[in-house]
Amino acid sequence: MTISPPRSRARWIAPTAAIAVAVLLWWFLTTVLAGEDRLLNSFAPQHAVPAIADLAQRGVLFGDIAASLWRLLAGLLIAAAIGVPLGFAVGSLVALERATRPVFQFLRMVSPLSWAPVAVALFGIGHRPVIFLVAAAALWPIVLNTAAGVHAVDPGHRLVARSLGATRTEVLTSVVLPATRGHVLTGVRVALGIAWVVLVPAEMLGVDSGLGYQILNARDQLAYDQMMAVILVIGVLGYLLDGLARRALTHRRRQNSA
């Protein structure tokens, strides 16, 4: 009779195995197949992972992480402050949705990085163009998901609220807002992923801090192990940020269903 491992332990077996296979493949490509190629060998895990500790000991890594997270948060807050009210307006007013649909669909299909020259021309060099690009990347998922949430509200709930004498403001705050909260959080989670991807190349526009800047700095110094180390940090941070957003969304859904 076989005894199955506890459910909590079994849940980690497959992800751990997948990570081990990925690391092994990474080592094989950059060490075994690379042979005497020093450039490819610099990206190997036995060089990149210690480089993370080296960057941290030099006091560089945590400052860059803080700068990148601050720009990400600022861009997301701007996108949410604009996107949530705009999404509610578009989802509530049919005429406004019809009028703005061509413009919104056009703008959301333009890569946020295409606005980089415009951002530099408007805001110069520094934090502001990076935050602008992050906000531009995060705006449309929030707008579209919020509008979709407003569309998904049961019309019967609105009719019941109005029949009980509720004003438009009360219908919005008591019926529409609670019903669309999940859609808004989903939009923020999608926006977070897109903004994180856009943030790194946006930080190559002339700023002197951030993870994107550190990649360029390592490349200019031909320190490819440090460049790979920063790429690993970017991936881990992105995974953690998405996990936090997913957990917040799951917690909210459980509260709504309770």
pLDDT digits (tens, 9 = 90+) for 213-226: 899 888 888 888 89
- Cα–chain-centroid distance for residue 85? 20
Q: Residue 59: is its pLDDT beyond 60?
A: yes
Helix (H, G, I), strand (E, B) or coil at 258: coil
Burial class (CB in 10 A: 0-12, 13-18, 19+), 137: buried
| Structure tokens that stand for 147 in this block | 């509008």
Element (H, E) at 197: helix 177-202
- Would you say the C-alpha torsion 231, 233, 236, 237 has a positive or negative sign? negative
CB atoms within 10 A of CB 10: 10
DSSP category for residue 35:
T
Q: Tell me the pLDDT band of 208, cut-offs 50, 70 and 90.
A: confident
Dist CA 44 CA 26 (whole Å): 7
pTM of the model: 0.83
Q: Tell me the pLDDT band of 1, cut-offs 50, 70 and 90.
A: very low
Q: What CATH number is given for 44-256 in this structure?
A: 1.10.3720.10
The confidence score (pLDDT) of residue 158 equals: 67
The residue with greater pLDDT, 93 or 131, is 131
Beta strands in the chain (DSSP E): none
Every domain of the chain and the residues it spans: 9-42, 44-256
Q: What is the DSSP string of 113-182?
A: GGGHHHHHHHH-SSHHHHHHHHHHHHHHHHHHHHHHHHHHS-HHHHHHHHHTT--HHHHIIIIIHHHHHH
- For residue 45, the number of C-alpha atoms closer than 13 Å in the C-beta half-sphere is 12
The confidence score (pLDDT) of residue 165 equals: 65
The confidence score (pLDDT) of residue 74 equals: 95
Q: Residue 169: is its pLDDT beyond 90?
A: no
Average pLDDT, the chain: 84
Mean pLDDT for 59-75 is: 91
First to last CA, the chain: 39
Dist CA 111 CA 213 (whole Å): 20
The confidence score (pLDDT) of residue 255 equals: 59
The confidence score (pLDDT) of residue 150 equals: 84
Percent of the chain clearing pLDDT 90 (strictly above):
28
